[in-house]
Amino acid sequence: MTIREFKMPDVGEGLTEAEILKWFVQPGDTVTDGQVVCEVETAKAAVELPIPFDGVVHALLFEEGTTVDVGQVIISVQTGPAGEEAAAAEVPATVAAAAPAAAPAPAQAEEPAAAARQPVLVGYGVSQASTKRRPRKAAGDVAAQNGTAAPAVVPAQPAAAQLVAAAAQNGTAAPAAAGAARALAKPPVRKLAKDLGIDLATVVPTGDGGVVTREDVHAAAAAAIAPQVAAPAAAAPAPVQAPAEVAPQAAPAQAGRETRIPVKGVRKVTAQAMVGSAFTAPHVTEFITFDVTRTMKLVQELKEDPDLAGLRINPLLLIAKAVLVAIRRNPDVNASWDEAAQEIVLKHYVNLGIAAATPRGLIVPNIKDAHAKTLRELSESLSDLVATARDGKTSPADMQNGTLTLTNVGVFGVDTGTPILNPGESAILAVGAIKLQPWVHKGKVKPRQVTTLALSFDHRLIDGELGSRFLADIAAVLEHPRRLVTWA
């Protein structure tokens, strides 16, 4: 029997730690390749982790609720002789056959087995063997089978290319050789490939170390141009972690008058992002109060429209549409600041972020290419985004590359606020509560539906004139919603 270890992964977002939320297996349970074994909270999202081999769970090394560093072993699995142990013995057995019989075969196989089989699922943490790829049949083995001299080994050659080369020398089909090694890919990429019906074994990897990336999978699915196999860059050595310092023990709380809550997960990420944004981008906030009675009437009419039956129609939907119209009229608002290059990057697309309160804290997923969506498509995207966020299933990719954010504080009865920019974005719009108030309408004081918007923007990108015109355009559309058509 062989004990294999599974490490806490970095799912590709540059994370350093994650909290184990739930185990789906227990010691003694049988697991199969690709089976989800636990759920972790990382980068403001709950991520399910599949295990990359078959076997029986030997031990769970951390309890639920524990925060674990990326690269630490979280579960060990006992594999059987017919599966992984047989594969582990493949390389030592071949070496033993090629070498002179100077020592007993078990002694020959023992030391190589320990060194050769150190499997690290790509993306699953950093280990001492992280600069090596998954073990595969050596060139000497191929030569021994063919009766030819062993060709020189090229360390930088991707795994897929070596398999094809070996197949060419043997005169056998490439797929048979490719089946001997499992494609290297991170869990999100494996899920994407599964959703798209792509066999990872047929995808040529372009990532470092022969890793299949999202782009590789999309390229295979679209059957675009022939994939180009790029030489993998040399992996950086594993960082040496300094011994953990013993934190001074906090003074005990006075008879339960205080409760100390560890800062971790979503709260920790949010705190770091807000501090970084507040002290990096110079914030300016402007306010506007106006009459939205016509917009509220339009919302009611759309709810009763049979063509929009089943859709979630609310004021936020029309506010989002108004923001997209205002961005089209003021495109310079949709930009980001590149500090390293000292450049302003104008975005010709809008990934509209929606701040969502979840049981785990505040997250900001965004609607990709919101500018190109119809009202129906925008409504469907908003509904899916909110439902996914509340279920804790928002993926890290859904929260990346946002360009501008909406936050609806009005649902809490709040008139307005001074929102802090989501890092990397140019502006954030806070929507206040819509209330019935006395308002001068056509020369008379009447009860009207009134709200206040607050726009915070990065003053490095947006000056006062541009920010004011942008905010005024949003209000103008919502005050007279026919401009959704005339200005679009």
Active site residues: 459
List all residues 6 or more positions away from 177 whose beta carbon is below 8 Å from its beta carbon: 163, 164, 166, 167, 170
H helix or E strand, kind and range, residue 476: helix 464-479
Check if the beta carbon of residue 450 is closer than 8 Å to that of residue 292: yes
Q: What are the C-alpha distances in Å from 473 to residues 92, 264, 430? A: 72, 40, 15
Angle at 190 between CA 187 and CA 191, to 5 degrees: 90
Please report how many Cα atoms fall inside a 13 Å half-sphere around the Cα of residue 226, on the Cβ side. Answer: 2
For 20, other C-beta atoms within 10 Å of its C-beta total 22
Name the residue type at position 42.
T
Cα distance between residue 21 and residue 12, in whole Å? 19
| C-alpha separations of 179 from 73, 154, 162, 207, 349 in Å | 27, 21, 13, 20, 41
Q: CA 211, CA 12: separation in Å to the nearest integer? A: 12
Residues 6+ apart with CB under 8 A from 84: 2, 4, 53, 54, 55
State whether residue 306 is helix, strand or coil: helix
Sheet holding 36-42, edge to edge: 45-50, 36-42, 17-23, 67-69
Q: Is 202 left (phi over 0), alpha (psi -120 to 50) or beta?
A: alpha
| 33 touches 54 (CB < 8 A) | yes
- CA dist., res. 322 & res. 474, Å (int): 6
